[in-house]
């Protein structure tokens, strides 16, 4: 019953919007070659399920690999950055670079460096998703309760002890926030990487667009969104389990 209560609210707008779109396209208010009717999109998913499923698997693999890379690298980088103000001032601007660089511009560069294939797609997913991990982890580590830091100091804790027993666990809620954002971005990064490097849902979108098959484009886009949603949900689940006992914000999820 609780699951039903959680699914129903977001489902209602979805059904309403889908119905509205169907009506607008069927009624000729919106031209079908600009925006496909939802029924056409679902039909496209049905008819091309083999191709789409395989593409979806490929994109998921790349996105998750890129996301895993940015999780580990991002957290490690943030821990390093937190070690001293000088290190932070020297290197944080370069981390910001990952946030601001338009991935469409560097994806061709990634192909040149890594070649055509999944490694480029993973690299693209990584580049796009790493910054929120670094930013949120660093923020979490640096915003530790000063009283607790005093307490650790009082009992002669080494910087390593303070990092692993206090600052890092205290930062977990913010780390998860960063991971939630990064999950969706990893999917986007993978798709953009696929535009340039081939394969997966990105390739399906690119080819279908050239063929003016708007229904298939939307089908692939819809599946990509579902992928992002699934990854987001997974992070939420892990976050909920990890933080269950101690963080107030987790109780409401």
| Helices and strands counted in the chain (H then E) | 11, 0
CB 208 within 8 A of CB 216: yes
Tokens matching residue 76: 């490690």
Rule CB under 8 A: say whether 32 interacts with other proteins.
yes
Give the count of beta carbons closer than 10 Å to the beta carbon of residue 116: 12
Rule CB under 8 A: say whether 249 interacts with other proteins.
no
Of the residues 2, 93, 245, 252, which one makes contact with other proteins according to CB under 8 A = 245
- By CB under 8 A, the residues from 94 to 113 that bind other proteins are 108, 111-112
Of the residues 116, 143, 164, 230, which one makes contact with other proteins according to CB under 8 A = 116
- By CB under 8 A, the residues from 150 to 169 that bind other proteins are 150-157, 161, 165-166, 169
Non-local (6+) Cβ contacts of 31 within 8 A are 25
Of the residues 198, 222, 234, 236, which one makes contact with other proteins according to CB under 8 A = 198
Q: Alpha-carbon distance 243 to 150, whole Å?
A: 24
Give the count of beta carbons closer than 10 Å to the beta carbon of residue 1: 5
Non-local (6+) Cβ contacts of 64 within 8 A are 186, 231
Give the range of 1-9, 53-61, 92-100, 209-217 binding other proteins by CB under 8 A.
209-217
Question: Which residues of this protein are in contact with other proteins, per CB under 8 A?
Answer: 31-34, 108, 111-112, 116, 145, 147-148, 150-157, 161, 165-166, 169-170, 172, 195-198, 203, 206-212, 214, 243, 245-248
């Amino acid at each position: 019953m609780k699951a039903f209560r959680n699914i129903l609210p977001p489902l209602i707008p979805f059904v309403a919007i889908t119905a509205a779109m169907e009506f607008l396209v069927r009624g000729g208010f919106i031209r079908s070659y600009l925006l496909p009717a939802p029924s056409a999109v679902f039909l496209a998913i049905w008819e091309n399920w083999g191709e789409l499923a395989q593409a979806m698997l490929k994109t998921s693999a790349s996105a998750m690999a890129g996301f895993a890379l940015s999780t580990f690298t991002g957290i490690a980088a943030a821990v390093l950055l937190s070690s001293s103000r000088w290190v932070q001032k020297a290197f944080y601007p370069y981390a910001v670079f990952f946030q601001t660089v338009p991935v469409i511009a560097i994806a061709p560069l990634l192909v040149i460096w890594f070649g055509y294939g999944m490694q480029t797609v993973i690299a693209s997913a990584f580049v796009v998703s790493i910054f929120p991990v670094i930013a949120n982890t660093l923020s979490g580590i640096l915003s530790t309760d000063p009283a607790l830091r005093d307490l650790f100091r009082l009992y002669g804790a080494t910087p390593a002890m303070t990092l692993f027993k206090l600052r890092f666990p205290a930062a977990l809620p913010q780390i998860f926030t960063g991971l939630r954002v990064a999950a969706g971005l990893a999917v986007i990064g993978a798709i953009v990487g696929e535009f340039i490097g081939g394969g997966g849902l990105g390739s399906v979108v690119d080819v279908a667009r050239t063929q003016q098959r708007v229904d298939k484009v939307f089908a692939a886009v819809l599946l990509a969104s579902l992928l992002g949603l699934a990854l987001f949900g997974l992070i939420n689940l892990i976050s909920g389990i990890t933080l269950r006992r101690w963080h107030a914000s987790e109780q409401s999820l």
